[in-house]
């Protein structure tokens, strides 16, 4: 067996005997993923907003809001809408029994048709900010649609003053038909959003990956401080074999750790990672990238303790920046772009692609980015790691 | 000089510096097959640097190391296969058992599975750890670790065994066991390069010693020959209280006194005839204001040789 494999096998045997390595590689990320899923899991199953409609106008215009707009929300499972009296609706919203209520006052249609200011009121619960925002957006969108109709009708009336009232209504109906008052775009397919269980499982797995792979490359520093490196150097073993052995240890630990976490979170937490081949490609390339980063850190450190401390700082920083704890896309486009310097972001992005129904080859851009990170960090580390393989 | 056929190790004009510090400066020596050679010198003399170059662990700045005719350097795998290296610190994997440690090192030297298994059992027997073979090394006492440390250097039956201060911090019982093991290996024909600053170990084990100080090999030869070179010199050791420097100056001014040194309340002086010189030395010391607490007259040994050559003690 080549010396590098002998060294890697010896290291793995040591690490599997060292319970702290198993804790960091498997137990802690699995436990944290479970805890996060329990805390945030309910939010991952969206429930329909509960709205009320108070239609005191009872006109074709107010009915169109109910039948065309609110009915669409109900059909899509976005909201449930109950029609009720104003007092009842306000009380229900105030008590938190409803998320929001749409109030259409008497004479709403007349005011719209007479080009006078018309008011569609939204009453929202203070405990349902998102639902209220959505309700306001829906109402606003509908009102904008009405305004578009009014402008169109006014334009036609101005140019063709001989049109009858019926003809003007027909123009209005055509305008309404041409410009749907509310459009709701489902962005989830484009954003490739992971469900929360999978998100936290993947986030914790890739976050702890940096801690796991450091056990390989950092053991080179330990061997030097413990004196065993001089014994290896006196043996008929090439220095490059010692380095390769340590890198193999990191890669093996990383692959084993991620594989166990993928299987564990799938079986225990119900995470759905997607196409197994695609996940495998992401695991291998992610481990290589993490090993490259850990190698750079190890090559800069003078002691194993120093390497461990620096590794923790780097792991936490990259984890936060890369979206291992929360989706950085929520922090704006700038953060989303900056996050792409981290392997975490590409790993999560690749998984998102698989979650969006992508086939194995769909992860190739993410895999390519991870391999690029591995190549760059590996090249930097290789210029300095040789310094460690000295007595 | 031995013929090439007898020479196991030949070091020629070795030099190594660390920045401005010249750790090894032009050292040359040979070790013959079956010979035990001691490198004797105080801490910081350059012994570890020297043997690190011999073991191919460290690249020298200049000079050459040849092992059984093979040039040794950090990339010389053939030459490295001939040596067993026992570093000064215990160099073992504490989470592995003794058997696993030995098997790992055996595998690095390409011993086959069957051969390695048999050899591991033999070595465990030699170092007296057969009964604890499957315990993790971290559960061992310091002496047991030291013995296993030597065993790891023996696993592949090296032609030259290099031991760097193997008895530092070892209890007397383990120390005796280690020295007995080395004597047995030497009797089997193994060449041994042994560094120590314990002169009694060098006198017991070594066929020849090289005395190293400040990176130089300042004397070399069999221990008896080196002490004989001092002639009839004797060594007066006095424990004194008071102004040691004044006492040293007073004694050193005597015509009968050879090299005189003082350290930690102890005055050392070399004389040719202790019986006649002792009254003069004691009078000089007391007249300087020092109070003599004890006096000891010693036969010449390697400690005295070193003191004579360098003005320092080996344990400095």
Same domain, B47 and B187: yes
- Kindly give the residue spans of alpha helices, DSSP state H, lying in chain B: 47-54, 77-80, 98-108, 113-126, 142-154, 172-187, 199-205, 223-228, 244-252, 274-287, 302-310
What's the pLDDT score for residue B104?
A: 95
Closest CA to B297 of B243, B203, B233: B233
Per-position b or e across A379-389, b if 16+ CB within 10 A of its CB = ebbeeebeebb
My answer on whether B163 and B290 are in the same domain is no
Using the structure block, give the residue that is written with the tokens 């719209």.
A112
Tell me, yes or no, whether B283 and B186 share the same domain.
no
Residue of A nearest to B101 (CA): A10
- Residues B212 and B265 reside in one and the same domain: no
pLDDT above 50: residue B1: no
User: Under a CB-based contact definition with an 8 Å cutoff, are residues A209 and A258 in contact?
Assistant: yes
Task: List chain A residues with CB under 8 Å of B78.
Answer: 236
pTM for the model stands at 0.71
Residue B249 and residue B185 share a domain:
no
Is B307 among the domain residues?
A: no
Q: Are residues B77 and B203 in the same domain?
A: yes
Q: What is the pLDDT of residues A174-220, one digit of tens each?
A: 655 554 444 444 433 344 557 777 888 888 888 888 888 888 888 88
The answer to whether A391 contacts B109, with C-beta atoms less than 8 Å apart, is: no
Question: Do A17 and B89 count as a contact with CB atoms less than 8 A apart?
Answer: no
Strand partners of residue B22: B17
Q: Distances in Å between the alpha carbon of A270 and those of A43, A261, A262, A328?
A: 15, 12, 10, 24
| Residues whose CB falls within 8 Å of the CB of residue A305, separated by 6 or more in sequence, listed in order | none
CA proximity to A208, closest of A20, A62, A335: A20
Interface test with A, best of B18, B50, B53, B57 (most A CBs within 10 A): B57
Residue A321 CA neighbour count, 13 Å, CB half: 14
Query: A161 vs A114, A154, A164, A226, A231, CA distance in Å?
Result: 16, 10, 9, 98, 102
Q: How far is A325 from chain B (nearest CA, A)?
A: 34
3-state SS, residue A234: helix
- Minimum-distance CB partner of A226 among B57, B78, B91: B91
Confidence of residue A1 (pLDDT cuts 50, 70, 90): confident
Which residues on B lie below 8 Å from A232 (Cβ)?
108
Integer Rg of chain B from CA:
22
Give bridge partners of residue A101 from the DSSP assignment. Answer: A52, A123
Predicted confidence (pLDDT) at residue B85 exceeds the cutoff of 70: yes
What is the CB neighbour count within 10 angstroms for residue A351?
Answer: 31
Q: Of the candidates A211, A205, A188, A204, which has an alpha carbon nearest to the alpha carbon of residue A329?
A: A188
Pairs of residues, one from chain A and one from chain B, whose beta carbons lie less than 8 Å apart = 71
In order of B51, B65, B230, B280, B295, the CA distances from B255 in angstroms are 41, 45, 17, 10, 20
pLDDT in tens, B151-191: 999 899 899 999 988 888 777 877 888 888 888 888 888 99
Which residues in chain A have Cβ-Cβ distances shorter than 8 Å to B77? 236-238
- Arithmetic mean of pLDDT over chain A: 82
pLDDT in the model for residue A125: 82
Whether B20 has a pLDDT exceeding 60, the answer reads yes
Structural tokens at position B216: 């130089």
* B309 against A315, higher pLDDT: A315
B97 and B187: one domain?
yes
Task: Find, in chain A, the residue whose alpha carbon is nearest to that of B72.
Answer: A234
Which residues of chain A are within 8 Å of residue B56 when distances are taken between CB atoms?
Answer: 233-234
A2 vs B: CB within 8 A = no
Residue B316 domain-assigned?
no
Question: What torsion, rounded to 10 degrees, do the Cα atoms B67, B70, B72, B73 define?
Answer: -170
* Spatial separation of the C-alpha atoms in residues A149 and A60, rounded to whole Å: 14
Ramachandran angles phi, psi of A80, nearest 5°: -110, 140
Give the domain CATH number at B152.
Answer: 3.40.50.300
Residue B95 belongs to some domain of the structure: yes
Contact B58 A235 (CB under 8 A): no
List phi, psi (to 5°) of B8.
-90, -40
User: What is the rounded distance in angstroms from the CA atom of residue B107 to the CA atom of residue B151?
Assistant: 14
Instruction: Please give the average per-residue pLDDT across A156-164, as a whole number.
Output: 59
3-state DSSP percent of chain A in helix, strand and coil, to 5: 75, 5, 20
* Structural tokens at position A229: 């490196």
User: Does the distance separating the beta carbons of A234 and B56 come in below 8 Å?
Assistant: yes
Backbone angles phi, psi at A25, to 5 degrees: -80, -30
Length of chain B, in residues: 316
Contact indicator for A315, A290 with CB cutoff of 8 Å: no
Task: Assign 3-state DSSP to chain B and report helix, strand, coil percentages, each to 5.
Answer: 35, 30, 35
Statement to judge: residues B147 and B257 lie in one domain:
no
Q: Kindly report, residue by residue over A114-157, the tens digit of the pLDDT.
A: 767 778 889 988 777 778 888 888 888 888 777 766 666 666 65
pLDDT 10s digits, A12-26 = 988 888 777 778 777
Same domain, B37 and B173: yes
For A366-379, how does the pLDDT look when each residue is reduced to its tens digit (9 = 90+)? Answer: 999 999 999 999 88
Distance between CA atoms of residues A286 and A289, nearest Å: 5
Helix (H) or strand (E) holding B40, with range, is strand B36-40
Q: Using the beta-carbon criterion (under 8 Å), do B85 and A1 form an inter-chain contact?
A: no
Is B304 among the domain residues?
A: no
ipTM > 0.90, yes or no: no
Q: 């203070």: which residue's tokens? A: A126
In a domain, B305, yes or no: no
pLDDT of residue A117: 76
- Cα gap B112→A342, rounded to integer Å: 45
Give the H or E element holding residue B260.
strand B260-263
Nearest to B96 among A13, A237, A390 (CB): A13
Give the pLDDT confidence score for residue A178 in this predicted structure.
53
Cβ burial of A230 (10 Å; 0-12, 13-18, 19+) is buried
The DSSP result for B47-94, as a single string, is: HHHHHHHHTTSS--SEEEEEETTEE-STT-HHHHTTEEEE-SS--S-T
C-beta atoms surrounding A19 within 10 Å? 10
| Domain A47-184: CATH architecture, name and number where available | 3-Layer(aba) Sandwich (3.40)
- From B222, B256, B279, the end of a domain falls on B222
Q: Beta partners for B268?
A: B237, B261
Q: Are residues B17 and B136 in the same domain?
A: yes
- Phi and psi, residue A31, nearest 5°: -65, -45
Residues 6+ apart with CB under 8 A from A24: A208, A211, A212
Distance CA B304, CA B226 (A): 10
Whether residues A233 and B89 touch (CB distance < 8 A) is answered with no
Q: How far is A232 from chain B (nearest CA, A)?
A: 8
* B88 CA: distance to closest CA in chain A (Å): 8
- Asked if residue B249 and residue B107 are part of one domain, the reply reads no
* Interface touch A235/B108, C-beta < 8 Å: yes
Closest-CA distance of chain A to residue B74, Å: 8
Q: What are the φ/ψ torsions at residue B272 (nearest 5 degrees)?
A: -85, -30
- For chain B, say whether A17 makes contact (Cβ under 8 Å): yes
Distance CA A217, CA A295 (A): 6
| Record: contact A17-B152, CB cut-off 8 A | no
What is the per-residue pLDDT across B109-133, written as a single tens digit (0 to 9) for each?
Answer: 999 889 999 999 999 988 889 999 9
Which domain covers residue B240, as residue numbers?
A: 232-299
To probe the interface with A, which of B16, B18, B93, B165 has the most A CB atoms within 10 Å? B93
Of the candidate ranges A73-77, A370-374, B138-142, the one whose mean pLDDT is the lowest = A73-77
Residue B266, classified by CB atoms within 10 Å of its CB into exposed (0-12), middle (13-18) or buried (19+), is middle
User: Which residues lie below 8 Å from residue B111, measured CB to CB, with a gap of 6+?
Assistant: B119, B155, B156
Name the residue among A14, A237, A239 with its Cβ closest to that of B95: A14
Task: Assess contact for B264 and B252: CB atoms under 8 A.
Answer: no
Q: What is the mean pLDDT of residues B77-100?
A: 93
Decide if B40 is inside a domain. Answer: yes
Per residue in A185-222, is it b (16+ CB within 10 Å) or e — as a string? eeeeeeebbbbbbbbbbbbbbbbbbbbbbbbbbbbbbb
The ranges assigned to domains in chain A are 3-42+191-385, 47-184
Between residues B226 and A238, which one has the greater pLDDT?
A: A238
CA atoms within 13 A on the CB side of A96: 4
Indicate whether B183 and B203 sit together in one domain.
yes
Cβ atoms of A30 and A270 within 8 Å: the answer is no
Q: Supply the pLDDT for residue A157.
A: 59
Number of domains observed in the structure of chain B: 2
């Amino acid at each position: 067996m080549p010396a590098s494999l002998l060294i890697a096998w010896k290291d793995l045997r040591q690490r599997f005997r060292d319970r702290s390595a198993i804790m960091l590689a498997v137990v802690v990320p699995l436990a944290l993923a479970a805890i996060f899923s329990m805390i945030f899991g309910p939010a991952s199953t969206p429930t329909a907003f509960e709205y009320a409609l108070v239609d005191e106008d009872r006109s074709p215009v107010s009915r169109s809001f109910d039948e065309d707009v609110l009915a669409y929300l109900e059909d899509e499972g976005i909201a449930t809408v109950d029609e009720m009296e104003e007092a009842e609706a306000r009380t229900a919203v105030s008590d938190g029994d409803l998320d929001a209520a749409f109030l259409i006052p008497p004479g709403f249609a007349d005011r719209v048709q007479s080009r006078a200011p018309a008011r569609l009121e939204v009453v929202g619960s203070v405990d349902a900010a998102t639902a209220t925002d959505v309700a306001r957006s829906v109402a606003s969108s509908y009102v904008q649609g009405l305004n578009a109709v009014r402008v169109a009708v006014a334009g036609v009336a101005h140019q063709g003053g001989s049109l009858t009232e019926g003809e003007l209504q027909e123009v209005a109906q055509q305008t309404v038909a041409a410009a749907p008052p509310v459009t709701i775009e489902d962005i989830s397919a484009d954003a490739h959003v992971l469900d929360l269980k999978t998100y936290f499982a993947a986030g914790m797995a890739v976050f702890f990956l940096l801690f796991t792979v450091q056990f390989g490359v950092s053991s080179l520093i330990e061997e030097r401080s413990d004196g065993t490196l001089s014994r290896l150097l006196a043996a008929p073993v090439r220095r490059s074999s010692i380095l390769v052995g340590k890198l193999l240890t990191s890669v093996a630990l990383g692959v084993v750790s991620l594989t166990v976490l993928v299987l564990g979170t799938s079986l225990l937490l119900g995470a759905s990672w997607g196409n197994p081949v695609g996940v495998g490609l992401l695991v291998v390339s992610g481990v290589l990238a993490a090993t490259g980063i850990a190698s750079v850190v190890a090559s800069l450190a003078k002691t194993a303790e120093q390497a461990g401390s620096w590794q923790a700082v780097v792991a936490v920083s990259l984890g936060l920046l890369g979206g291992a704890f929360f989706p950085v896309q929520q922090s704006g486009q700038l953060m989303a772009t900056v996050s792409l310097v981290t392997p975490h972001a590409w790993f999560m992005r690749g998984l998102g692609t698989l979650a969006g129904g992508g086939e194995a080859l769909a992860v190739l851009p993410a895999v390519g980015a991870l391999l690029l990170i591995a190549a760059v960090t590996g090249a930097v580390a290789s210029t300095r790691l040789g310094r460690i393989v000295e007595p | 000089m031995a013929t090439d056929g007898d020479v196991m190790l030949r070091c020629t004009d070795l030099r190594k510096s660390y920045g401005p510090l010249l750790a090894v400066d032009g050292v040359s020596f040979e070790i013959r097959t079956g010979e035990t050679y001691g490198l004797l010198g105080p801490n910081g003399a350059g012994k570890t640097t020297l043997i690190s170059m011999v073991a191919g662990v460290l690249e020298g700045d200049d000079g050459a190391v040849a092992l059984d005719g093979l040039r040794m350097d950090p990339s010389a795998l053939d030459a490295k296969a001939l040596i067993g290296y026992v570093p000064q610190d215990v160099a073992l994997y504490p989470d592995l058992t003794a058997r696993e440690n030995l098997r790992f090192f055996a595998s690095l030297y390409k011993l086959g599975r069957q051969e390695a298994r048999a050899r591991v059992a033999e070595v465990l027997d030699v170092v007296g750890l057969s009964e604890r073979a499957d315990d993790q090394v971290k559960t061992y006492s310091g002496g047991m670790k030291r013995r296993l440390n030597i065993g790891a250097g023996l696993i592949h039956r090296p032609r030259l065994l290099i031991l760097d201060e193997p008895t530092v911090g070892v209890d007397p019982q383990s120390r005796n066991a280690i020295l007995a093991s080395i004597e047995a290996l030497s009797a089997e024909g193994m060449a041994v390069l042994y560094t120590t600053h314990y002169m009694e170990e060098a006198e017991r084990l070594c066929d020849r010693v090289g005395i190293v100080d400040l990176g130089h090999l300042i004397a070399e030869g069999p221990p008896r020959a080196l002490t004989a070179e001092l002639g009839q010199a004797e060594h007066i050791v006095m424990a004194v209280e008071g102004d040691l420097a004044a006492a040293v100056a007073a004694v050193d001014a005597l015509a009968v006194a050879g090299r005189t040194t003082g350290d930690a309340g102890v005055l050392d002086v070399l004389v040719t005839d202790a019986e006649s010189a002792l009254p003069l030395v004691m009078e000089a010391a007391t007249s300087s204001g020092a109070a003599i607490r004890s006096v000891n007259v010693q036969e010449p040994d390697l400690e005295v040789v070193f003191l004579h050559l360098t003005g320092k003690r080996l344990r400095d």
